[in-house]
A and B are shown apart, each in its own frame.
Chain A
Amino acid sequence: MKDIFVPRRMWRPRGELKRRYDVVVVGGGSHGLATAYYLAQRHGVKDVCILEKSYIGSGASGRNTTIIRANYRTPEGAEFYGQSVRLYEKLSQKLGFNLMFSQRGHLTLAHSDRALVTMQERAEVNKLLGVNSSVIGPAEIEALCPQLDVSERPTWPIMGALYHPPGGIIRHDAVVWAFARAADELGVDIHPYTEVTGFERANGRVTAVETNRGRVECGQVVSATAGWSTLIAGMAGLRLPITTHILQAFVTEPLKPFLDVVIVSSQLHVYVSQTDRGEFLIGAEIEPYTTYCGTGTLSFLEISARHSIELFPQLERAKVLRTWTGLCDLSPDYSPILGRTEVDNFHVSSGWGTYGFKAAPIVGVTLAELVATGKTPDLIAPFALERFHTDTLVSELAAAAVSH
Chain B
Amino acid sequence: MRLPAQTGERIDRSTELSFRLGPWDVSGYAGDTIGSALFAGGRRVFSRSFKYHRPRGLLCCAGHCPNCLMTVDGVPNVRVCVEPLREGAVVEPQNVLGKLDFDLLRVVDKVGGPFTPVGFYYRTMIRPRRMWPLYEKFLRNVAGLGKLDEHAGHTRRYDVEHKKARVLVVGGGRAGRAAALEAASQGPGVVLVDESDRLLRSELAGVEVLAPARALGIWEGNLVPVDCGTVLYRFRAERVVVATGTIEQPLVFPGNDLVGTMFPRAVRRLIRDFSLQPGQRAVVLATDERGLEAADDLGEAGVAVERVVDLRESPLRRIEAQARAGRVRGVLLDDDVVECDLLVASGGRQPAYSLLAQAGGLVEFDPDLGVLVPTEHPPGVEAVGSVTGEGLEKVDPLPSYHGRGKCFVCVCEDVTTKDVKRAITEGFDSIELAKRYTTVTMGPCQGKLCQLPSVRLYAQERRVYETDIGSTTARPPWAPVELGLLAGRHLEPTRRTSLHFRHEETGARMMWAGPWRRPYAYSDYPEQEVRAVHESLGVIDVSTLGKLLVEGPEAAALLERLYPNRFGDMKPGRIRYGVLTTDGGRIMDDGTVARLSDDLYYVTTTSTGSDAVTAWFEWWNAVWGYDADIVNVTGALAALNLAGPRAREALERLTEDDVSAEALKYLDAREVEVVGVPCLTLRIGFVGELGYELHFPSPAGEHVWDRLVAEGAVPFGLEPQRVLRLEKGHVIVGQDTDSESNLLSAGMSWLPKLDKDDFVGKSAVELFAEREERELLVGFRMEENVVPPEGAQVVIEGYPAGRVTSARRSDEVGAIIGLAWVPSDRAEDGTRFEIRVERQLRGARVTHGAFFDPAGERMRS
Contact = CB atoms under 8 A, between A and B. Distances in A.
Contacts of B739: 333, 395, 397-401
Interface string A1-33: 101110111111100000000000000000000
B502 interface: no
A76 to B, nearest CB: 10
A200 interface: no
Interface in B591-610: 606-609
B836 A316 contact: no
Contacts of A256: 76, 94-95, 141, 144-148
Nearest to B152: A314
A240 interface: no
Interface stretch (B506-514, B553-561, B663-671, B749-757): B506-514
A7 B483 contact: no
Q: Which of B129, B426, B587, B767: most chain A Cβ within 10 A? A: B426
Contacts of A75: 799-800
B126 interface: yes
Interface residues of A toward B: which range?
A: 35 or more
Interface string B302-320: 0000000000000000000
A301 B486 contact: yes
A331 to B, nearest CB: 12
A257 B735 contact: no
A132 interface: no
B324 interface: no
Given A3-B123, A309-B483, A400-B733, A155 B129 contact: no
Interface in B139-155: 139-141, 143-155
A309 B492 CA distance: 13
Nearest to B732: A404
Interface residues of B toward A: which range?
A: 35 or more
A149 to B, nearest CB: 8
A320 B124 contact: no
Contacts of A111: 512
Interface string A125-138: 10111000000000
B791 A321 contact: no
Nearest to B733: A400
B427 A315 contact: no
Interface string A46-90: 000000001111100010000000000001000000000000011
Given A98-B125, A255-B145, A324 B475 contact: yes
B482 interface: yes
Contacts of B487: 302, 305-306, 308-309, 316
Contact of B427 (A10, A112, A320, A333): A10
A195 interface: no
Interface in B97-153: 114-115, 117, 120-127, 129, 132-133, 136, 139-141, 143-153
B156 A55 contact: no
A252 B443 CA distance: 10
A236 interface: no
B704 interface: no
Contacts of A278: 140, 143-145
Interface stretch (B57-65, B216-224, B256-264, B850-858): B216-224
A112 B443 CA distance: 39
B123 A298 contact: no
A392 interface: yes
Given A118-B791, A400-B738, A4 B115 contact: yes
Interface stretch (B37-45, B164-172, B431-439): B431-439
Contacts of A258: 147-148, 150
Contacts of B139: 276
Interface in B371-427: 422, 425-427
Contacts of B789: 117, 120, 124
A108 to B, nearest CB: 13
B582 A401 contact: yes
A401 B586 contact: yes
B189 interface: no
B141 A257 contact: yes
Contacts of B187: none
B589 interface: yes
Contact of B154 (A313, A391, A398): A313
Q: Which of A147, A252, A297, A401: most chain B Cβ within 10 A? A: A401
Given A102-B136, A253-B444, A402 B432 contact: no
B275 interface: no
A311 to B, nearest CB: 11
A192 interface: yes
A320 B477 CA distance: 8
A283 to B, nearest CB: 14
A314 B150 contact: yes
Interface in A152-177: 155-156, 171, 173-174, 177
A217 B149 CA distance: 60
A122 interface: yes
Contacts of A255: 76-77, 144-148
A126 to B, nearest CB: 9
Interface in B727-751: 732-735, 737-741
Contact of A317 (B75, B490, B513, B803): B75
B20 interface: no
B641 to A, nearest CB: 19
B76 A13 contact: no
B50 interface: yes
Contact of B76 (A8, A156, A171, A318): A318
Contacts of A129: 800
A321 B476 CA distance: 8
A174 B433 CA distance: 11
B150 A316 contact: no
A176 to B, nearest CB: 9
A62 B234 CA distance: 31
A125 B50 CA distance: 44
Contacts of A173: 436-437
B795 interface: yes
Nearest to B154: A313
A324 B446 CA distance: 13
Given A92-B129, A96-B126, A298-B234, A400 B737 contact: yes
A100 interface: yes
A318 B153 CA distance: 10
Contact of B793 (A100, A128, A192, A295): A128
Contacts of B127: 93
Contacts of A309: 153-154, 483-484, 487, 490
A114 interface: yes
A400 B734 contact: yes
A156 B512 contact: yes
Report the 9 A-B pairs with minimum CB-CB distance, sorted nearest first: A313-B153, A278-B144, A121-B791, A404-B734, A120-B791, A319-B480, A316-B484, A306-B487, A305-B486
25 contacts: A3-B123, A4-B123, A10-B426, A12-B427, A98-B126, A117-B789, A119-B791, A121-B803, A122-B791, A155-B491, A174-B122, A253-B146, A255-B77, A255-B147, A256-B94, A257-B141, A306-B488, A308-B483, A310-B490, A324-B475, A395-B738, A400-B588, A400-B741, A403-B734, A404-B735
Interface of B: 50, 75-77, 94-95, 114-115, 117, 120-127, 129, 132-133, 136, 139-141, 143-156, 160, 217, 219-220, 223, 225, 234, 360, 422, 425-430, 432-433, 436-437, 439, 442-444, 446, 473, 475-477, 480-484, 486-488, 490-492, 494, 511-514, 520, 582, 584, 586-589, 606-609, 612-613, 732-735, 737-741, 764, 767, 774, 789-793, 795, 798-800, 803, 836
Given A98-B123, A121-B792, 9 more contacts: A125-B800, A128-B800, A258-B148, A278-B145, A301-B477, A395-B738, A400-B739, A403-B734, A404-B607
Interface of A: 1, 3-5, 7-13, 54-58, 62, 75, 89-90, 92-93, 96-98, 100-103, 111-114, 117-125, 127-129, 146-147, 155-156, 171, 173-174, 177-178, 192, 252-258, 276-278, 295-298, 301-302, 305-306, 308-310, 312-324, 333, 391-393, 395, 397-404
